[in-house]
Chains A and B, each alone.
Chain A
Amino acid sequence: DGGITQSPKYLFRKEGQNVTLSCEQNLNHDAMYWYRQDPGQGLRLIYYSQIVNDFQKGDIAEGYSVSREKKESFPLTVTSAQKNPTAFYLCASSSGWGELFFGEGSRLTVL
């Protein structure tokens, strides 16, 4: 079945460590997105990519990095520069006319 897969579902990190969250889609979508959600809050855009080998910063890109080497993959690295990384991370993809398909999310906890 077509869809978008995030892994891992739960991740624990020690302070000062970089972690990478995986996002894979087999929907043949050009656009992919990373959002962060804190408890009781809405989604905030971290990075998005409209096409392979290109991506743009969202509203809260500091402390995060991404790559888009393949159409189906858009991994997010949470670096040690991100001071408050504990959150729920959501990846999404979109076809040209705009409906977003979301993954199930990755919950990152810093110990």
Chain B
Amino acid sequence: DAKTTQPNSMESNEEEPVHLPCNHSTISGTDYIHWYRQLPSQGPEYVIHGLTSNVNNRMASLAIAEDRKSSTLILHRATLRDAAVYYCILRDDNTDKLIFGTGTRLQVFP
């Protein structure tokens, strides 16, 4: 199974952009890149996903490197409600298997 590597923690101030990196050097051609976030004692919440092209939605943007070995989740203006653990995971399109790593804990300061 392809694995992902993320920094353990990151910090940001409110209203500033946040770039959360993820390395996935062993990604295969059929793996989709997914991002989820989790608040304490809750189930993870879907944020965004993509395959090759950059993606935007109301929550965030996903920038995918040309070789697909890394990606960056971009929160354009961090709010206090964005403080959570962010998981970058790969979904094998053939098996539907999703493996979570340890994630990045994002702290947002007022």
Q: Which residues of B contact A (CB under 8 A)?
A: 32, 34, 36, 41-46, 49, 85, 87, 91, 93, 95-103
Instruction: Considering the complex, give the chain A residue whose CB is closest to the CB of B49.
Output: A98
Q: Is A104 a contact of B97 with CB atoms below 8 Å? A: no
Tell me if A's interface is mostly helix, strand, loop or mixed.
strand
Q: Which residues of A contact B (CB under 8 A)?
A: 31, 33, 35, 41-45, 48, 50, 56, 58-59, 88, 90, 92, 94, 98-105
Q: Is B100 a contact of A43 with CB atoms below 8 Å? A: yes
B32: contacting residue among A59, A90, A98, CB under 8 A: A98
* In the bound complex, CA of A100 to CA of B85 (Å): 16
Residues in B whose Cβ lies below 8 Å from that of A44: 100
* In the bound complex, CA of A94 to CA of B85 (Å): 21
A104: contacting residue among B42, B46, B49, B95, CB under 8 A: B42
Q: 24 A-B contacts, Cβ less than 8 Å apart?
A: A31-B96, A35-B100, A42-B102, A42-B103, A43-B87, A43-B100, A45-B99, A45-B100, A48-B97, A50-B95, A50-B96, A56-B95, A58-B97, A59-B99, A94-B96, A98-B32, A98-B34, A98-B49, A98-B93, A101-B46, A102-B45, A104-B42, A104-B43, A105-B41
